[in-house]
Structure formats: C-alpha cells, structure tokens
Structure 1
Amino acid sequence: MIEDDWRIDAVDVDAYLDRIGHPHAAPSAAALRSLHQAHVRRIPFDNVDVVLRQHPGIDLPVVADKLVTRRRGGYCFEHALLFAAVLERLGFEVERRMARVQPHRSGPRTHMLLRVRVDGQDFLADVGFGAGVLSPTPLRDGVVVDQAGWPHRLVRDGALWTFEKRVDGGWEPLHATDELPQRPIDYEVAHHYVATHPRSPFTGQLVVMRLDHGVVRHLVGDRLTVERASGEAETTEVPPERLEQVLRDLDVELTGPEYAALRECYAPARE
C-alpha cells in the first residue's frame, strides 16, 4: 500500500492556534467544533492569488506560510489541507475526501473536505466551503445542523453523502462526497483545474466570502452582498477605488502592489 505524504510536520501548531485565536485542546467533539468555528471566523475564503495569476500551489509548507505566517486567506484545498494537518498534530483521526459541487447540476468534483473521528463519532469538517459551513456536521443520515443560522442536512445514499441547505421550497444539494480516501495528487489535479481552467468559477472573477453567526458577506466580481439568517439581503456595487477598503473590511490583507494589481485586473471585468 502506498503511504501518502501529507507533510503535516510543516505546520507550526502554536502559530496556527495564535492565528485563529484558539488555545491548545485535546481531541474531543467540543474541541473540533470550537477549532472549526475559529478557523472559519479568522481565515478568509478568497481566490485573490488565482485572479492575480500568482497562486503558489498547495504543498502544505506553502499553504502554512501563506495562511498562517503571512496571515492570508485561500480556498478549499488550502483551508482543508491546513486544518487536516493541525487536527492530526493535535491527535484527531482524519480522512481527506473530495466532493462534487452542485451534484444535481453536473458540477465538478473539486471540493476538499474532511472526515474526522473523535469521541467515537464521525464528523464532516468543511472549513473551506466558502461562506456556508461554520461547524462540523455529524456524519449521520438525515441529521440537520444549524450552520450560523441556516439549516443544513446530510443525506446518505449508499456510500454517497449529500450535503444540503434549506431553501424556499425544499433542500438544495451543495455537494456530494463518497467514502474514498484521497491522495495528495488528487488535490493537485483538482487545484490545477480550479486555478487555471477558463470554465472554473474562480478564474474569471474575484470571490471573497466571510461567515459568522447570522450573517454572510460575499464579494463576487464587483458585487458585495450581505445576507442575514432573518432573510434580509443587501447588494451594493464596489467600484475599483473602493476595492481595497472593502477587502480590508473582509479581513483580506494584501501588499500595496497586490491591491494595485487586483484593481487593474478587476476594473476591466466590470466594463
């Protein structure tokens, strides 16, 4: 059997815990929940490096340097690879998985999430699903979990687990995953598609998402939308001259040249 090299020693656990503002914790379901929530609240989901055509890749040392040392954000592969390594270093049992996004619409199999076993239970940990998942979800058929004010549920069909969100009129499938463990190369291939393919939702427009209880903020292209669990939503246009401040408000801290370069490639997309 081939051993997968996840290079978890590349992560400085103390530095990561400082990054998310969380104390050291022994493995438990409660610790998994608080770590998951702290990660989502403190590390932004964004595709800035994809838009700037400067993505450094998803080798764990690179991911740890970017998200922890340089205090940047990233997208699912970066978030999940980092979180998996930290959990394993803390003593959790982790299995890395791949999901098909929007399975009811022939979406791609390009989302990374984790199966975590602790206290005799299995959970889906999904710190990198944009602005949708604040807490781990028990891996049980039909379970409904409040995710920051929005009901979500898991539905099982054989080895396939579909994660759904409650919407007007029923449940909308968000992604579906099977029980097949992945290897590092699987994420490399998916990352290459997501970061470079013209049909990828991340190559043609800026995407930044932030989630906290009862409110989700997402910047897609030049539109900033603030949605509340109460049903209220407000969308405003973000002109290039306001982009830097909006990104800072979303906890995305870049260098001066990066802000400038982002404005240059952001503005033509609005024309």
Structure 2
Amino acid sequence: MTTTTTTTSTTTAPALDWRIDTLDLDAYLRRIGQPAASPSAEALASLHEAHVRTIPFENVDVVLGRTPSLELPDIADKLVHRQRGGYCFEHGLLFAAALERLGYDVVRCMARVGFDKPDAPLTHLLSLVSVGDERFLADVGFGSGLLVPLPLTDGARTEHGGWPFRLRQEGRHWLLETPTDDDGWHVAHGFDETPQRFVDYVVANHYIATHPKSPFTRRLIVQRKDHGNCRKLLGRGYQVEYADGRPTESKSVTPDELGDVLRSLDIVVDSDELARLREVYAGE
C-alpha cells in the first residue's frame, strides 16, 4: 500500500524593514515643533497638522532633473535637516517612520489620483494608522489635501482649517472627496487597504520623477496648506486660494522674482539650484 502525504504550504508577506531606526526622531519633532507623546487620536492629529503646515510640498528636485531618493536617511536629510520639502513619497515615508517610532501601528498604502480615470496609475502614498480600536487615514503628502487625519469610516468628514473633505467607501475602495461648486463631491483619490512594499514606491517614484506624462516633470509645483488659505506655485503662476470662498488671488512670477517667491513658501535652495530653476522658467 502506498501512502501519500499532502503538505499544505502557507505564504505570508515578508517582514518589511523600513529602516525607521535611522530616523533622528528628536530632530524631526523639532522640525515640526511637536513633543514626543504617547499614541492617541489627539496626538496623531497634532503631528499630522504640524507636519503639513511646516514641511512644504514641492518637486524642485524633479524640475532640476533629479529623481528624489526614497531612502529614509536621504529623505530626513532633505526635509528635516536641510529644511526642504518634497512630494508624497518623501512626506509619507518620513511621517510613517516617525509614527512607528512613537508607537503607532502603520500600514503604508497606495492611491490613484484621478481615481475615476481609466489610465490613472497608482502614484500616491498614504498611511492607515491604528490608535486602539480606531483607524485613520493619514495623508500628509497630498499637496493641498488633509490638514488632519480622517477616521477610516464610511462618510467621515472634516472641515479642519476651513477645508471640507469626505471619505466614502465603495466596495473595497475608499474615496477621498472634496466638494464641488454645484454642491456635489469630486474624488481626489481612491485607494484600498493593500499594504505596499518599499519597491512599490521606488517604481512609482521613478514614473512620477521621469515620465513625460507625469505632472511633476512638466513644471514647478509648490503647495502650502494652512488654516483658511492654500498658497500654490504652479509653473509661472502663483495663487492664493481661500477656504471662505473669497476670490483666488493670482499673479505671474518672473525668473527674477522666483527666489523671493520660493523663500516666501519656505523653500530653501542654494544659488546654483536657483540659477538652474530660473533657466527653466526662462525657457517656459
């Protein structure tokens, strides 16, 4: 008689090393002006808002022909020590590392900006953060997005700082929405809860920083969200949007004015970088 033994194998996701031990947590907290505090919904909201209001959203490196490094020590050197900004991958990886060092449970995910468009790729990093029995959407790298986290519940809303957002669940997806002028809602991005690996962000980062269809390779983008206003530099156009419905202020920025405008947006570049950015502006 022949005996057949059946072996059942299970596949588990590999443990991921996000190198959070390389982060100088004290330096990061000094940068955003926050104390180290035990995990709580209130502390998470304070950290999120302080990060968004302190560290600029910008794509200067991409405009200069550089692909931003996603290695945590490089991100911290740039956003914390050199007082620069970055885009979603840099912001999100830095914030997630700080949260984990503070004791939060964090899952790094990916979203599609322009979710309802069939050709929209997965190119945005966000995090799902657990605090006790509650979970939150933390999204510090969405430019003119959330000031504070949203509870990960269908229909959750916030108007913090005067900026309304809604989170809606549709099947396995979560949709972050903003109001439209006709009292409707527009999908800013959509995501599911699939955990991502570091290499997933490396691939998306390469697309964002180099592909001709990427919005970040076409023009300089700087955004600063605050209570009641959002300041933006989009190519040659500088504008201030107001949460209370006041008309948007707009003006055109010349190459000679670029340095002053960047400084007003808390972007620190050296003289060589500024000269190269002015050359890009002159060629537009």
Q: Does residue 232 of structure 2 align to residue 218 of structure 1?
A: yes
Aligned to 1:160: 173
Number of residue pairs matched?
A: 269
Confirm or deny: 8 A CA contact 2:79 2:85 kept in the other structure: yes
Provide TM-score, normalisation by structure 1: 0.97
Post-superposition CA distance 1:149-170 (Å, at most 9, x none): 1211011012200000011120
Aligned-pair identity in percent equals 56
Q: CA deviation at 1:108?
A: 2.1
Return the alpha-carbon distance in structure 2 between the equivalents of residues 110 and 192 of structure 1. 10
Confirm or deny: 8 A CA contact 1:149 1:213 kept in the other structure: yes
Q: Aligned runs of 1:1-271 on 2, under 5 Å? A: 1=12, 2-106=14-118, 107-169=120-182, 170-232=184-246, 233-269=248-284
Unpaired runs of at least 5, structure 2: 1-11
Confirm or deny: 8 A CA contact 1:132 1:147 kept in the other structure: no
| 3-state SS of paired residue (2:276) | helix
Q: CA deviation at 1:214?
A: 0.7
| 3-state SS of paired residue (1:14) | helix
Return the alpha-carbon distance in structure 2 between the equivalents of residues 218 and 212 of structure 1. 11
| 3-state SS of paired residue (1:218) | strand
Report the RMSD for the aligned CA atoms in angstroms.
0.9
Q: CA deviation at 1:203?
A: 0.3
Q: Aligned AA for 1:113? A: L
Q: Runs of 4+ in structure 1 displaced over 4 angstroms? A: none
Post-superposition CA distance 1:179-209 (Å, at most 9, x none): 1100000000000000000000000100000
Return the alpha-carbon distance in structure 2 between the equivalents of residues 34 and 208 of structure 1. 23
Return the alpha-carbon distance in structure 2 between the equivalents of residues 73 and 132 of structure 1. 15
Return the alpha-carbon distance in structure 1 between the equivalents of residues 168 and 97 of structure 2. 27
Pick the structure with greater CA Rg. 2
Q: Aligned AA for 1:82? A: L
| 3-state SS of paired residue (1:180) | coil
Q: CA deviation at 1:64?
A: 1.1
| 3-state SS of paired residue (1:162) | strand
Return the alpha-carbon distance in structure 1 between the equivalents of residues 160 and 122 of structure 2. 23
| 3-state SS of paired residue (1:4) | coil
Return the alpha-carbon distance in structure 1 between the equivalents of residues 146 and 236 of structure 2. 24
Q: Aligned AA for 1:141? A: D
Post-superposition CA distance 1:30-67 (Å, at most 9, x none): 00000000000110000000000123411111111111
| 3-state SS of paired residue (1:15) | helix
Return the alpha-carbon distance in structure 2 between the equivalents of residues 178 and 267 of structure 1. 42
Provide TM-score, normalisation by structure 2: 0.93
